[in-house]
């Protein structure tokens, strides 16, 4: 299944460049320049990855990320920033579902971070699936034993 990626930046050339690379990497892209529209999309579509700029006129990346995590606590976020000291970036990293990329960046770094995002999401998905499967197997066995106990 293709990764559904939401891109948010107030500069059109940046949005276009990020979108182009994501599409080349096989993502399905939803590009936005307004935070409110991006959040609307997040509420409506099963977005896998959010790529957001930090410094935007309408809203900042901290607010967008916090709101995105309120809607989708397991969403993986790639934060792009040029002003690390100005934003409480550390607080955005609390969940572990995030990465950060500092401006100016090169395309090979962006590609590496997209690759990392996929690997990290796959790891979390695998661990979640393993726990779920273990729960199901245990649950089935317990039910089976209980039926036996009740039948006697």
Partner 1 sequence: MGASVVPCSMFQVHVPGSRSRSTHWCVTFKVSAQVPIGRTHMRTLILDDEEPIVHMLALVCEKQGHTVMPFTDSTDALIRLASAPIDLLITDMHMPGPDGVAVIKEARRLQPDLFTLIITGHTGSYPIAELMADGTADIMFKPFHMNELRARLALAERRRTLIAGMNAEKAALHAVSKEMILGLQQELQARKRG
Contacting residues toward partner 1, per CB under 8 A: 69, 73-74, 84-85, 89-91, 93-100, 102, 106, 108-109, 112, 115-116, 119-124, 127-128, 130-131, 134-135, 137-139, 141-143, 145-150, 152
Residue 102, both tokens: 């500092």
* Min dist. Cβ of residue 37 to partner 1 (A): 25
State which residue, 44 or 106, has the beta carbon closest to partner 1.
106
Residues 6+ apart with CB under 8 A from 47: 4, 5, 6, 30, 41, 72, 75
* Min dist. Cβ of residue 62 to partner 1 (A): 14
* Min dist. Cβ of residue 75 to partner 1 (A): 10
DSSP state, residue 73: T
- φ/ψ bin of 151: left (φ > 0), alpha (ψ from -120 to 50), beta (otherwise): alpha
Q: Is 4 exposed, middle or buried (0-12, 13-18, 19+ CB in 10 A)?
A: middle
Q: Crossing angle of helices 107-151/12-24, nearest 10°?
A: 60
* Min dist. Cβ of residue 16 to partner 1 (A): 22
State which residue, 2 or 135, has the beta carbon closest to partner 1.
135
State which residue, 57 or 108, has the beta carbon closest to partner 1.
108
* Min dist. Cβ of residue 99 to partner 1 (A): 7
- φ/ψ bin of 26: left (φ > 0), alpha (ψ from -120 to 50), beta (otherwise): left
State which residue, 32 or 76, has the beta carbon closest to partner 1.
76
State which residue, 43 or 134, has the beta carbon closest to partner 1.
134
């Amino acid at each position: 299944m293709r990764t559904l990626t939401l891109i948010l930046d107030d500069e059109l050339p940046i949005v276009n460049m990020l979108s182009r690379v994501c599409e080349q990497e096989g993502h399905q892209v939803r590009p936005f320049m307004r935070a409110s529209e991006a959040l609307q999309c997040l509420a409506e579509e099963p977005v896998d990855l959010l790529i957001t700029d930090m410094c935007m006129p309408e809203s900042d990346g901290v607010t967008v990320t916090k709101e995105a995590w309120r809607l989708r606590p397991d969403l993986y976020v790639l934060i792009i920033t040029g002003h690390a000291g100005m934003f409480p970036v550390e607080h955005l990293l609390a969940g572990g579902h995030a990465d950060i990329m500092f401006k100016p960046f090169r395309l090979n770094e962006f590609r590496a971070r997209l690759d990392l995002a996929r690997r990290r999401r796959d790891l979390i998905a695998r661990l979640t699936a393993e726990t779920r499967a273990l729960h199901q197997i245990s649950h089935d066995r317990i039910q089976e034993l209980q039926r036996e106990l009740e039948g006697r």
